[in-house]
Amino acid sequence: MSLTLEQVRHVAKLARIEISDAEAQTALGELNGIFSLIEAMQAVDTQGVEPMAHALDLAQRLRADRVSEVDRREAFQAVAPETAAGLYLVPKVIE
């Protein structure tokens, strides 16, 4: 599949993009290049190929799920202007 210059101008009009003749010609070449790449990829036989999330078979190293910092909530809330039930109270800004 390849586009024509009129189709590129039509797509630009639908997208409400003002495009000059030079820009339309450049976009035509780039879009046709993308379509030819898609056609080449679709021509590859992928029967029996299992989908994968990554090209390499990698596993992420995980760290132990443990607390690494002390609870400083009381210290932080001690300097806050207003708190209630462990929450920071702020002035209402939206009516």
Domain ranges of the chain: 5-42
Fold of 5-42: Histone, subunit A (1.10.20)
DSSP three-state, residue 73: helix
b/e string for 21-31 if b means 16 or more Cβ within 10 A? eeebeebbeee
Q: pTM for the whole thing?
A: 0.51
* 17 touches 24 (CB < 8 A): no
**pLDDT tens digits for range 19-56:** 999 999 999 999 999 999 999 999 999 899 888 888 88
